[in-house]
């Protein structure tokens, strides 16, 4: 047992984030920690500012990671980047279940497809960044035969599936690959994808070049920040400071995410990039359980009504959409 603890202490000293590794020995043994390469960020991945506010900590891939809030741009970000090979392997296997796409996300996909149909001009072009297996584009293809549809994803497996199953044109790769594409699109979709982009500043610089003059960007992302802030506030008064130092998760936060985007951050960023008519709206819900389908639908209608009456100031759905139009030249 002592030898096991000694090995775990050595591992914790190598893995990132554990300022007091001896306190995490039992936790590491219990959760079967493995050696993982990771890099700590010294500056905000968007504006490069070095002044942060601590937002919480969590354990992911045997690494203690802090969420930091940039004092300049307001971005909330993970201060650690796990080895890219580990993450690539993770995404090759994650979220591949057909039921997840065809049923659980069906209302989300239909909502976005309807929005694209409204904004895309006749014979226009659409790029779905991080489009995975192509289910959203397949729905859009059924309703708008005139559109040129292009799917992008970092996973070759999903790109091959989208091409063979739905006949979609695909671009396999990340930001570097998209930078080499000399094309502009009338609508660019990013559904639950920017929160995972390790090269955020590089991506924001690229985005305006992907969108045609007068084109539209549709972004979907989590809307859990108010709940996370509330839990953080309560914990400061209910959990002893010593126990907070052993915090291993953040309530309502998915540890796979690299960022938490506030609505204010996204609105400000898109306007600064030259997009006009930027707005947010509630997203349709993920249908996790058929038993609660009708209850969730009622909640969705209530959330939409609340958003309308509050002029989109109150969005209470777990996800929200940001829509921005690029100024016509």
Check whether residue 187 and residue 87 sit in a common domain. no
Check whether residue 77 and residue 146 sit in a common domain. no
Does position 97 have pLDDT exceeding 70, yes or no? no
Check whether residue 280 and residue 142 sit in a common domain. yes
- The pLDDT, as a whole number, for residue 95 is 59
Does position 110 have pLDDT exceeding 90, yes or no? yes
pLDDT single digits (tens) 190-249: 999 999 999 999 999 999 999 999 999 999 999 999 999 999 999 988 988 888 889 999
**What backbone phi and psi angles, to 5 degrees, belong to 294?**
-70, -35
Does position 77 have pLDDT exceeding 90, yes or no? yes
Check whether residue 49 and residue 117 sit in a common domain. no
Check whether residue 193 and residue 109 sit in a common domain. yes
- Rounded percentage of the chain residues whose pLDDT exceeds 90: 75
Whether residue 217 is contained in a domain is answered as yes
The range of the structural domain enclosing residue 153 comes to 98-222+263-326
Does position 92 have pLDDT exceeding 70, yes or no? no
Whether residue 165 is contained in a domain is answered as yes
pLDDT single digits (tens) 40-55: 999 999 999 999 999 9
Domain end, chosen from 244, 278, 311, is at: 244
Check whether residue 114 and residue 193 sit in a common domain. yes
Q: Which of 236, 247, 215 is nearest to 116 (CA)?
A: 215
Domain end, chosen from 244, 275, 301, is at: 244
> Lowest-pLDDT range, 77-91, 177-191, 297-311?
77-91
- The pLDDT, as a whole number, for residue 312 is 84
- The pLDDT, as a whole number, for residue 91 is 65
DSSP assignments along 159-184, one per residue = HHHHHHHH--EEEES-HHHHHT----
Count of the separate structural domains present in the chain: 2
DSSP assignments along 169-232, one per residue = EEEES-HHHHHT----EEEEEEES-GGG-S-HHHHHHHHHHHEEEEEEEEEEEE--HHHHHHHH
Cβ–Cβ < 8 Å for 108, 220: yes
Check whether residue 89 and residue 145 sit in a common domain. no
- The pLDDT, as a whole number, for residue 170 is 96
Query: Among the residues of 15-105, which ranges form H helices?
Result: 25-30, 84-93, 98-99
Whether residue 258 is contained in a domain is answered as no
Domain end, chosen from 211, 244, 277, is at: 244
Query: How would residue 72 be classed by pLDDT, with cut points 50, 70 and 90?
Result: very high
Mean pLDDT across 93-101: 67
- The pLDDT, as a whole number, for residue 242 is 85
> What mean pLDDT is reported for the chain?
91
List CB contacts of 300: < 8 A, sequence separation 6 or more. Answer: 107, 282, 284, 285, 317
Check whether residue 128 and residue 190 sit in a common domain. yes
Whether residue 249 is contained in a domain is answered as no
Query: How would residue 137 be classed by pLDDT, with cut points 50, 70 and 90?
Result: very high
Mean pLDDT across 70-74: 96
Check whether residue 313 and residue 279 sit in a common domain. yes
Whether residue 201 is contained in a domain is answered as yes
Check whether residue 217 and residue 229 sit in a common domain. no
Check whether residue 45 and residue 115 sit in a common domain. no
pTM of this structure? 0.92
- The pLDDT, as a whole number, for residue 101 is 75
pLDDT single digits (tens) 258-282: 999 999 999 999 999 999 889 999 9
- The pLDDT, as a whole number, for residue 152 is 97
Check whether residue 131 and residue 50 sit in a common domain. no
Whether residue 215 is contained in a domain is answered as yes
Whether residue 253 is contained in a domain is answered as no
Does position 94 have pLDDT exceeding 70, yes or no? no
Locate 72 and state its tokens.
């300049």
Whether residue 251 is contained in a domain is answered as no
E strands, the chain, are 38-40, 52-60, 63-70, 76-78, 80-82, 125-129, 148-153, 169-172, 185-191, 211-222, 259-260, 275-282, 319-326
Does position 96 have pLDDT exceeding 70, yes or no? no
- The pLDDT, as a whole number, for residue 93 is 64
Query: How would residue 88 be classed by pLDDT, with cut points 50, 70 and 90?
Result: confident
CATH number at residue 272: 3.40.50.150
């Amino acid at each position: 047992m002592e030898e096991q603890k000694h090995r775990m202490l050595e591992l914790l000293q190598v893995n990132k984030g554990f300022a007091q590794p001896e306190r995490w020995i039992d936790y590491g043994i219990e959760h079967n920690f493995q050696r993982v390469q990771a890099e700590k960020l010294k500056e905000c991945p968007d504006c490069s500012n070095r002044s942060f506010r601590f937002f919480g900590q969590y354990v992911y891939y045997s690494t203690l990671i802090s969420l930091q809030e940039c004092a300049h741009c307001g971005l909330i970000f993970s201060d650690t980047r796990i080895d890219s090979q580990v993450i690539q392997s993770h995404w090759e296997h994650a979220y591949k279940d057909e039921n997840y796409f065809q049923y659980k996300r069906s209302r989300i996909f239909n909502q976005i497809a309807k929005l694209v149909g409204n904004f895309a001009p006749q014979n226009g072009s659409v790029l779905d960044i991080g489009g995975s297996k192509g289910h959203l584009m397949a729905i859009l293809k059924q309703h708008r035969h005139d559109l040129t549809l292009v799917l992008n994803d970092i996973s070759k497996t999903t790109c091959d599936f989208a091409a063979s199953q739905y006949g979609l044109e695909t671009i396999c790769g990340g930001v570097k690959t998209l930078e080499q594409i000399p094309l502009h699109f009338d609508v660019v979709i990013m559904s639950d994808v920017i929160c995972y982009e390790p090269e955020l500043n590089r991506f924001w610089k690229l985005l305006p070049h992907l969108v045609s003059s007068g084109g539209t960007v549709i972004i979907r992302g989590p809307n859990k920040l108010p709940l996370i802030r509330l839990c953080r506030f309560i914990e400061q008064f209910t959990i002893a400071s010593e126990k907070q130092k052993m915090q291993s998760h953040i309530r309502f936060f998915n540890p796979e995410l690299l960022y938490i985007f506030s609505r204010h951050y996204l609105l400000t960023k898109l306007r600064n990039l030259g997009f006009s008519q930027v707005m947010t709206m509630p997203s349709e819900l993920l249908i996790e359980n058929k038993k609660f389908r009708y209850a969730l639908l009622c909640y969705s209608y209530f959330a939409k009504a609340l958003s309308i009456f509050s002029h989109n100031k109150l969005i209470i759905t777990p996800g929200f959409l940001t829509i921005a139009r690029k100024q016509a030249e």
